Chains A and B, each alone.
Chain A
Amino acid sequence: MMTASIVGMGWVTPLGRDLEAVWKDIRENRHPDASLMENPVSKRGVPVLRVPECLVRDTATLPRLRRSSIISHLAVAAATDAAASAGMTPEKLARTALIFAASDGGVIYTRRFYADLVERGEGAGSPLLFPETVYNAPASHIAARLGLQGDVLTLVGDAATSLAAIRTGCELLAAGEADFCLVAAAQELDWVTCEAYGRWGLIRDGSNHASPFSEGAAAIVLAREASSCRVLATHPGYSCPTEKDIEGRLDAILTQLLPGLHVGLCISGGSGTRLDLAEEHCLERHLPSVQVIAPKSVLGESLACSALQQVVTAVLALRESGGGDALVIATGYNRQVAGLILTHGGSHG
């Protein structure tokens, strides 16, 4: 079984950038203020959770990032914090791979670039915007900032993608491709994506109780070296043909992951949507008395970024409780499902 230690973490959330302070807010169910994001055509607004600009001023003003979209500012901030908390030296960074997980990528610049084409004709695209529209732009900026020159991968998809990124990181470490692996994810907000996710009922839009759409980032540093907190097991997950199939596949994941473990905590991907039902039913069957924490209820829905924030939350919760095993589940809107187990305190040798 492939395992890896978690030796550093960082996140940027609507509630702040400090690990412990945000964890305290989650625990105390303290919600950030929402603002309205308006569709400029229909004038319809949806509540969203934004990261205060002041939290990422240090990265937004870096020369390479001045023209980049906010997703890169958020990603670099979280990655820099994770690297710092892991005590990464230039020597260690030279042996570090990077896996970045994205759901929508640089959607603000993509929308602006395309809007120019629609409004002014097909020859009107801006050469300043286009390069930042590629999914791997944030990963490129992280690599440049930290001086990473080895494996740099961007994985794209729904919430389960971040857990796939962690599994990929474990694989790279097991294959000897790197001694450390930085796994990062970030999400930015735009009215186009608000419209899309709102119409699918995945974010709060006034007619439901879903979590608001939110921006943010998270990063963890995986290592082969031993530490008190480890990714004990990852499940590769499934692609579910329909939403009706999610519960069955999730059930199979838990059946394979849980035997022999004493999981006392589940960090759920629950966000108040129809996708929660599969998780709820599976937890009732497999872990009826487990403590469940759903960070999206406070931090909002930021897709792949949310799943990595769940992992950070799990580590913080395990640390506080003094040890044990935690389950993290991601059920993506694109019907990808995955799960992993974290352990803290050395109960598994």
Chain B
Amino acid sequence: MQVAFPAVEITGFGCVSPLGIGLRQTTENLRHSRDGITPVRLFRVSKCHSKTAGQVEESLPATAASITPRSRRWTRAAQMILAALAEALAARPGFVPDCIVMGTTSGEMLLGEEFYRALASGSPAWSAARRVRAYVPHEPVMQAMSVFHFDSPIRIVSNACASGTSALGLACQIIRTGTARRVLAGGYDALSELVFAGFDCLRASTADKCRPFDVDRTGLALGEGAAIFCLEKGDSGLCITGYGSSSDTHHLTQPHPSGCGPLSAMRRALETAGAEPASVDYINAHGTGTPLNDSSEARAILELCPNAPVSSTKGMMGHALGAAGAIEAAFCCIALREGFLPANINFARSEFPLDIVANEIRKVEAQRVISNSFGFGGANAAVLLEKRP
């Protein structure tokens, strides 16, 4: 018994990423296909294979402090959430969520790192112990919500790099079942030394530029950020009309080469919306730039929507892990609203017969787009977004 998937309206959204703090700056950087990948400044990487990442610009604390001065003492993750949340709520005054669903991969890993260093050095760890209470992924969300006096329950989704999209999907399901009328949903992740070293030791990150879908791609660049959406029952303007997820039990870190997991998630997203694959105007691919992800995803796209224009925006902003799906859904909303498809930069030659939006934006009045996210543990998620009258 499948309950029809009613559209869920996006009545406000906000975004913080290496491409900008706020939608205005993000839109301009997307429009000009700017490369937001820079040398890592947040921690030492001299012994790592990769030395670059997408980092949110240094004005973040000042932006957050302009919303509430007490955020000066917060972590970068909490500041990112606050900035995205304030922007989303400014677009939808009076929005009070019944529930909050946020995706993240590493939560407040930076605080865990600080606590461990304090313990391992044998130095007094009381200060670190107080701070590590905020290690729990709820905490930065609760800090940001407290500014707006929200006491709604928070569900933190951690489906690795699919977390942001999974959070949007879960939020839609909650609205759909009628247990909540308004949900704040999105994702966040801040760069941390542990996660950076993790992808580096797996040789998943590149010492070169991140080149999604290029024949010479050598890996991903990490990123960070947050995006938050005000979601409510409705059927006009920007909407989430479909969601699909699947589990690929092939391997903990590698997708099944056939692309069966991504295919199943995308197909399900279309089915829930009652949409035909041929009606998809654009796919914002997961497109990490790793050899395995891109070949698996390309197979899935070629099987389902072989003619849809495709780009991965991770070449510009890096892979923001648990925030990626939410940020990329925000990019899709910008694409729908502004009438252009974001570019897949650093692209020279394709290994796959996909219609890649190469290096420059394409002016298209898209109506229906898919945003994909796939992660460790075989987590696959796809969300269908539409612009309605």
Which residues from chain A sit less than 8 Å from chain B, CB to CB? 2, 39, 41-42, 98, 102-103, 105, 110-111, 113-115, 117-118, 121-127, 130-137, 139-141, 143-144, 147-158, 160-161, 164, 167-168, 171-172, 174-177, 192, 195-196, 199-200, 236-241, 245, 249, 334-336, 338
Contact = CB atoms under 8 A, between A and B. Distances in A.
B326 interface: no
Contacts of B197: 113, 117, 122-125, 130
A103 to B, nearest CB: 8
A158 B155 contact: no
- The 6 A-B residue pairs whose C-beta atoms are closest, nearest first, are A140-B377, A123-B47, A135-B158, A130-B198, A125-B201, A144-B249
17 contacts: A41-B122, A113-B198, A122-B46, A122-B197, A130-B199, A130-B202, A134-B376, A140-B249, A140-B378, A141-B252, A152-B247, A157-B136, A168-B170, A196-B129, A236-B153, A239-B150, A240-B151
Contact of B136 (A158, A192, A241, A249): A158
B138 A336 contact: yes
B129 A199 contact: yes
Main secondary structure of the interface of A (DSSP, over half): mixed
A4 to B, nearest CB: 12
A262 to B, nearest CB: 25
B374 interface: no
Contacts of B320: none
B360 interface: no
A127 B205 CA distance: 13
A155 B156 contact: yes
A175 B247 CA distance: 19
Contacts of A175: 3, 173, 176-177
Given A137-B376, A152-B379, A41 B153 contact: no
Interface string B16-60: 000000000000000000000000000111111100000000000
B139 A136 contact: no
Contacts of A238: 151-153
B360 to A, nearest CB: 35
A150 B201 contact: no
A272 B337 CA distance: 55
A122 to B, nearest CB: 5
Given A238-B152, A238-B153, A117 B193 contact: yes
Interface of B: 1-3, 43-49, 98-100, 104-105, 107, 112-113, 115-117, 119-122, 125-126, 129, 132-133, 135-139, 142, 145-146, 150-160, 166, 170, 173-174, 176-177, 179-180, 193-194, 196-203, 245-249, 252-253, 264, 375-379
Contacts of A335: 142
Which of A41, A113, A135, A249: most chain B Cβ within 10 A? A135
A42 to B, nearest CB: 7
A124 B179 CA distance: 47
B116 A147 contact: no
Contacts of B150: 239
Contact of B158 (A156, A196, A240, A338): A156
Contacts of A113: 194, 197-198
A115 B115 CA distance: 12
Nearest to B172: A175
A122 B44 contact: yes
Contact of B202 (A127, A153, A155, A196): A127
B173 A172 contact: yes
A327 B158 CA distance: 28
A212 B245 CA distance: 38
Contacts of A132: 252
B116 A192 contact: yes
A123 B200 contact: yes
Contacts of A192: 115-116, 119
A314 to B, nearest CB: 21
Nearest to B322: A135
Contact of B375 (A41, A136, A157): A136
A176 B1 contact: yes
A42 B123 CA distance: 10
Contact of A200 (B113, B133, B166): B133
A239 B152 contact: yes
A124 B176 CA distance: 47
Given A134-B377, A241-B146, A111 B158 contact: no
Nearest to B134: A334
A158 B137 CA distance: 10
A134 B105 contact: yes
A322 B247 CA distance: 39
A131 B3 contact: no
A158 B197 CA distance: 27
B376 A122 contact: no
Given A122-B48, A123-B197, A338 B377 contact: no
A113 to B, nearest CB: 7
A155 B137 CA distance: 10
B194 A117 contact: yes
Nearest to B146: A241
Contacts of B179: 2, 167, 171, 236
B252 A125 contact: no
A207 B24 CA distance: 54
Contact of A123 (B48, B142, B247, B375): B48
B119 A39 contact: yes
A76 to B, nearest CB: 12
Contact of A239 (B121, B154, B248, B377): B154
Nearest to A40: B120
Given A158-B138, A175-B176, 16 more contacts: A123-B47, A123-B200, A125-B200, A130-B197, A132-B252, A135-B105, A149-B248, A155-B157, A156-B156, A168-B155, A176-B3, A192-B115, A195-B115, A199-B129, A200-B133, A239-B152
